[in-house]
Structure 1
């Protein structure tokens, strides 16, 4: 039996050219944590995530890796259970689950590479084009709504949806949404990401009423995901489709959103939910209930899962520098197609991530 010989970690922080404001958050840099798993036959698997300034590499090193080393390299689902049980005393959700997710993704990469097939083959999701969402603009007070609309429009052709963040200025949003609704291609939907920026449904509904009559593919993350009833009320009273789920680590929270009728689209973060192993279960559960799933970032992994893929413009951009260190991966041409290369089909730039080894 081929086993996992070691788990190595690395962290890299890349500055943004200007502060990014989303909901209640201000982001001045993107810090990424990465894992490289190695089987005793030399096969490597990788994964990365936004650390959100949390000590992800340290959590992997101290709490998770020990439960993966020595495991069967061809059975990542069984190893996932060992990692969860082994770290259960300190956390089955939250940062520990994200750390498990990082390792799990790398282990699936190894399993598919050893089988000589792309991960989508191992998962049975096929290689058809995935619905796609381009994160197109973050409006700011120093740019007019016309400037932001033009930034979105120049990128929009061919994508299933384009996404902008909410500006907490209703008049600005009214103008911007009116422009985009009038000028976007008929085949491209518009998503507004609130980033959990509203404290309650009353505040949300009051502000939405000032946006005019926007046509949205969905309104994303209006409230904290634990407020399933509040989300359902926004959906019901605003008449807008709603999606929630970014950064959620507890499957029960996602299920509650669906069960109360609060979401038209379920958002799924493959790292936060704990990796490919639980993501497959969550996607199947949602499919049984007729709820489509949209992946939150990490398009190089999400493309293999057979769900909607979210990405930023490829190449270095003001919002997300990850494409600058991703070598390989899916094709991004409006609709996203997973790579035919074995495993996840991408590598991490070794000049950015220097994995520490004993």
Structure 2
């Protein structure tokens, strides 16, 4: 029997070459938080996330790690319950749940490594290639719709979906969507990510009517996910498929979106929702209702869950520097195939994440 002996954290800050504008947010850098959990037999597990400028490592150290130490590593679900109950007085959703998610993912990594098996085998999701969505472009006023469309089209071949962000200029969006609808391969769906950028359904519908008649695989995160009724109104009023769920930490919020009837797919952030343990339950719940689930970032982890995976272009890209510190990991070629390597099957560059060091 093995138990958690140590939990170390690390933070890395990587600048972006240009600011990204998504909804009401402007992103000038990517800050990542990571954990390394060590069992008393020496087996280690890892996880990382976008901190979104929150003090994630401090929350792990002060509010979550004390409840995970000593937990048995062959039962991540029991450890998850222990962490949730131990920190319940300060937060069962929000940042604390994200911190629990980091440790939970690392514990699943350990459990699989100790069995000498890839995580997908423990989870029973198989190793078939996963459908994948490529985050292809973030439009900006300093680039023409033609230039942004060309960026998307250069990358689109082989991907089942490509995603762009909304820019709050209806004329710009109308031109950009017209180009992409005309020139994207017929096998590639187009997603527009609003990033919670509209305050209400009326504002959303008024703007969407100015986009012409776009063909979208879905409209993503048009409103805050807690506004399930507003999301349903957008779906009904625009006729566009809708997917919602990025960054949600409360499963009840995602379930309400389904129950109100406004979504064609759930977006699932495996860290934010609290890790692999609650993600499995939510995926099963959605499957019972015939609803597809699409992962939000962290493709190296999401690939093991048997759902659609979201990724940025591998290698150097202007939107996500994570590939610069990910070692090994799944294959990306329009679909994503998890490997047979034990555990999660990827590593974190020790020159970027210095666990246990100042």
Q: Same fold (TM over 0.5)?
A: yes
Q: Deviations over 1:268-309 (max 9, x none)?
A: 000000000000000000000111000000000000000000
Q: Deviations over 1:180-208 (max 9, x none)?
A: 00100110000000000000000000000
Q: What is the distance in 1 between the residues matched to 2:151 and 2:190? A: 14
Number of matched residues?
358
2:221 counterpart of 1:231: no
1:7-156 correspondence to structure 2 within 5 Å? 7-156=7-156
1:256-295 correspondence to structure 2 within 5 Å? 256-295=256-295
Q: What is the distance in 1 between the residues matched to 2:106 and 2:62? A: 17
Deviation, structure 1 residue 129: 1.1
Deviation, structure 1 residue 357: 5.6
TM-score normalised by the chain length of structure 2: 0.99
Aligned residue number for residue 204 of structure 2: 204
Q: Deviations over 1:95-132 (max 9, x none)?
A: 00000000000000000000101000000000111110
Deviation, structure 1 residue 339: 1.6
TM-score normalised by the chain length of structure 1: 0.99
Spell out structure 1 runs of 4+ moving beyond 2 A. none
Q: Secondary structure at the match of 1:192?
A: strand
Deviation, structure 1 residue 356: 1.5
Q: Secondary structure at the match of 1:172?
A: helix
Q: Deviations over 1:210-261 (max 9, x none)?
A: 0000000000000000000000000011000000000000000000000000
Q: What is the distance in 1 between the residues matched to 2:339 and 2:190? A: 27
Q: Secondary structure at the match of 1:283?
A: helix
Aligned residue number for residue 329 of structure 1: 329
Q: What is the distance in 2 between the residues matched to 1:357 and 1:32? A: 16
Q: Secondary structure at the match of 1:82?
A: helix
Q: What stretches of structure 1 of length at least 5 have no aligned partner?
A: none
Aligned residue number for residue 301 of structure 1: 301
Q: What is the distance in 2 between the residues matched to 1:263 and 1:139? A: 25
Q: What is the distance in 1 between the residues matched to 2:355 and 2:184? A: 44
Q: What stretches of structure 2 of length at least 5 have no aligned partner?
A: none
Q: Secondary structure at the match of 1:178?
A: helix
2:6 counterpart of 1:6: yes
Q: What is the distance in 2 between the residues matched to 1:245 and 1:123? A: 22
RMSD: 0.7
Q: What is the distance in 1 between the residues matched to 2:282 and 2:328? A: 27
